[in-house]
Amino acid sequence: MKEPLTSFNPHLSVDCVVFGFDGNSLKVLLVEKVADNHAKHIPRKHKLPGDLIIRMEDLYGAAERVLLELTGLSNIFLKQFSVFGTPDRISDPDDIRWLEDTSGVTISRVVTTAYYSLIKIGKSKVKNVVKNNASWHDVANLPDLAFDHEEIIKEGIKSLQMAIRHEPICFELLPRKFTLRETQILYEAILGHELDNRNFRKKLLKAAYIEPLDEKQNGVAHKPARFYKFNKKKYELNRTDILNYNF
């Protein structure tokens, strides 16, 4: 146990919907809720990475802590998108028992602040992820989830869909060098529908902050695609107030 028991606030938690992109589909990072001591027969459910708040800890700071412990990464994209606080959101007795066992505090009612996080899937240090029983799951095919975490993920996806229409945040999910095709597949994965290839490229390339590199794929059995990078400074200098990526 990382902290003295009394330091957790039993009413407040954060949960993180950690999105990743493997080149094909949108993924979310889930941890396995390991079976507790009381019963051997509890089905192993998955849950979002999250934790109760430490006394006097900032909410954003708590989300950063959860992600650092899980992935070994700091300075990653994190955005608060909702609060979930219906009194019965933690009602399954197994879930309550598990929470009380792992936190050491008595649980009456927990209001959780939900963040979504965008990470470059290649960067998450595998050893930490494995150590924490965490694994990537396709958002289109989620396992059985504890608490109200399925609802939280669904809301997180909606927020992300909204956000990528207005802000160039998709680059947080792509490698530093990416191809336009990868970007398109990412948009399609997030929005859940196909896009016209030519029109998509035209629209992206209008933005000066998406810069072509002199580098191409190699080793691919087709015409190699050019790499691009996102110039964040350029974006922030000339940002137009509201960006229109309504595909």
Partner DNA sequence: ACAAAAGTGTTTAGTTTACACCCATGA
Partner DNA sequence: TCATGGGTGTAAACTAAACACTTTTGT
Member of 161, 224, 237, 239 binding DNA (CB under 7 A): 224
Q: Is 87 in the site for a second copy (CB under 8 A)?
A: yes
Member of 222, 233, 241, 242 binding DNA (CB under 7 A): 222
Cβ proximity to DNA: between 40 and 222 the closer is 222
d(CA 227, CA 40): 51
d(CA 3, CA 86): 27
CB 30 within 8 A of CB 137: yes
Cβ proximity to DNA: between 81 and 228 the closer is 228
Least distance from a second copy to the Cβ atom of residue 200, Å? 17
Q: Is 80 in the site for a second copy (CB under 8 A)?
A: yes
Member of 25, 71, 82, 124 binding a second copy (CB under 8 A): 82
Q: Is 246 in the site for a second copy (CB under 8 A)?
A: yes
DSSP string for residues in 191-226? HTS---HHHHHHHHHH-TTEEEEEEE--S-SSSPPE
Cβ proximity to DNA: between 106 and 218 the closer is 218
Which residue's entry shows tokens 């051997």?
40
- In the range 52-71, which residues lie near a second copy by CB under 8 A? 53, 55-59
Residue partners of 39: CB distance under 8 A and separation at least 6: 94
d(CA 61, CA 53): 9
Q: Which amino acid, one-letter code, is at 151?
A: E
From the CB of residue 114, how many other CB atoms can be counted at a distance below 10 Å? 26
d(CA 70, CA 65): 8
Least distance from DNA to the Cβ atom of residue 217, Å? 7
* Contact string (CB under 8 A) for a second copy, positions 98-137, x = contact: ----------xx-x-x------------------------
3-state helix, strand, coil in the chain (%, to 5): 35, 25, 40
- In the range 19-78, which residues lie near DNA by CB under 7 A? none
Q: Which amino acid, one-letter code, is at 84?
A: F
Q: In a 10 Å sphere around its CB, with 0-12 CB exposed, 13-18 middle and 19+ buried, how is residue 127 labelled?
A: exposed
**How many Cα atoms sit within 13 Å of 20 on the Cβ side?**
18
Choose from a second copy, DNA, none: what does 220 bind? Cβ within 5-8 Å by kind. DNA
Cβ proximity to a second copy: between 193 and 233 the closer is 193
Contact residues for a second copy, defined by CB under 8 A:
9, 11-12, 53, 55-59, 80, 82-83, 85-87, 108-109, 111, 113, 165, 242, 244, 246
Contact residues for DNA, defined by CB under 7 A:
179-181, 196-199, 201-203, 216, 218-226, 244, 246-247
